[in-house]
Amino acid sequence: MIITLPLFAQSKKELQAEVTKLKAEIEQLKKPKDVELTDTVKKASYGLGVLVASNLKSQGGDSLDVEALTIAIRDVYQNKTLKIQQQDAMMIVQTYMQQAAEKKNSKLKESSAAFLKENKTKEGVITTASGLQYKVITAGKGKAPKATDNVTVHYVGKLVDGTVFDSSVERGQPVTFGVNEVISGWTEALQLMHEGDKWLLYIPQELGYGDRGAGGQIPPYATLIFEVELIKVN
């Protein structure tokens, strides 16, 4: 026992070191391998992955299991036996994506409604019968446009998180358009304004781009915030 105890202690220590090493190697294997885009095929493959993943996320599929998705792609390319056949897969995916989109849209609607509910209680914010909200920054004394008029304006458009999606101010050039040629929130607000007015508009999604969003920058059901200066009624 006097002789074997140190040997046992040494082997136990070595065993613990080996276990630690194996655990580290397993964790390393779990990490996704990076890819070097050294040729056209790899670039096209990676690019396709970007397009597919972006499309899935935009439709509410951001809770998908990326590992299972990757294994399915590998199984198809390597002609392995599929765990779910293509016809069944179509039905499963269609149901999942529909439910995911509904869940995402429900959150977007709730978020927009919550913002407007809180915003209407702030000092200086006026709410019209349609749900449009506005706040006067500067009061002008010029003409008020009719629906059939053209107007020249400067504006900055933002989402409720502060993201700027469009700005004539940044471009350094005001824009001219017909009062009835824009989203209904603008059409209503412009007819309440006068030349020289600068207002903050808070446009509910029903008076904006609704369930379709716009241009990839405005998501569905988004409340829009515009700082609008009515320069001239033409």
157 and 99 co-located in one domain = no
Active-site choice (209, 218, 225, 231): 209
CA geometry: angle at 204 spanning 202 and 205, to 5°? 135
What was the pLDDT predicted at 18? 72
pLDDT at residue 184 is higher than 50: yes
Q: Do the domain assignments include residue 136?
A: yes
19 pLDDT higher than 80: no
**Residue 155 annotated as catalytic:** yes
80 in the same domain as 150: no
96 tagged catalytic? no
pTM: 0.67
Residue 10 is assigned to a structural domain of this protein: no
Does pLDDT of 109 surpass 80?
yes
Residues 6+ apart with CB under 8 A from 229: 138, 153, 154, 155, 197, 198
| Alpha carbon distance 223, 161 (integer Å) | 10
Q: Is the same domain home to 75 and 133?
A: no
Residue 194's CATH number: 3.10.50.40
Task: Kindly state whether residues 48 and 148 are assigned to the same domain.
Answer: no
Catalytic site residue 209? yes
Lowest mean pLDDT among 40-49, 60-69, 130-139: 60-69
Provide the terminal-to-terminal Cα distance of the chain, rounded to the nearest Å.
104
pLDDT confidence bin for 59, thresholds 50/70/90: confident
Find the catalytic residue in 115, 134, 202, 226.
Answer: 226
Co-location of 149 and 215 in the same domain: yes
Final residue before a domain boundary, out of 104, 137, 155 = 104
Looking at the structure, tell me whether residues 90 and 175 fall in a common domain: no
Q: Given the residues 96, 149, 165, 177, select the one marked as catalytic.
A: 165
**166 catalytic per annotation:** yes
Pair (153, 90) in one structural domain: no
Q: Is 134 marked active-site?
A: no
CA–chain centroid gap for 47, Å, is: 20
The answer as to whether 26 is a domain residue is yes
Q: How many domains does the chain have?
A: 2
Question: Which is the catalytic residue, given 134, 155, 202, 221?
Answer: 155
Of 11-25, 118-132, 135-149, least confident by mean pLDDT is: 11-25
Residue 165 falls in the annotated catalytic set: yes
Residue 174 lies in domain: 120-233
51 pLDDT more than 60: yes
> 166, 197, 202, 231: which is the annotated catalytic residue?
166
